[in-house]
Amino acid sequence: SASASASTPSRRLALFHIGSVIPQAHLFGTKAPGSKAEGNSSLEAGTTGVMAQASTAVDQDSSLDWAKKDRRRLLHVVYRVGDLDRTIKFYTECLGMKLLRKRDIPEERYTNAFLGYGPEDSHFVIELTYNYGVDKYDIGTGFGHFGIAVEDVSKTVDLIRSKGGKVTREPGPVKGGSTVIAFIDDPDGYKFELLERGPTPEPLCQVMLRVGDLDRSINFYEKAFGMELLRKSDNPEYKYTIAM
Residue ranges of the binding site for Zn(2+)? 127, 145, 193
Annotated binding site: 127, 145, 193
Evaluate the CA torsion angle 30, 24, 208, 139 in order and state its sign. Answer: negative
Helix, strand and coil percent figures for the chain, each rounded to 5: 25, 35, 40
For residues 159 and 205, is the Cβ–Cβ distance under 8 A?
Answer: no
Which of 54, 6, 8 is closest to 211 using CA atoms? 8
CA pair distance 240, 216, nearest whole angstrom: 16
CA pair distance 146, 205, nearest whole angstrom: 8
Q: How does DSSP classify residue 70?
A: -
Task: Look at residue 145 and give its three-state secondary structure.
Answer: strand
Residues labelled as active-site residues: 193
Which of 21, 48, 28 is closest to 228 using CA atoms? 28
Burial class (CB in 10 A: 0-12, 13-18, 19+), 62: exposed
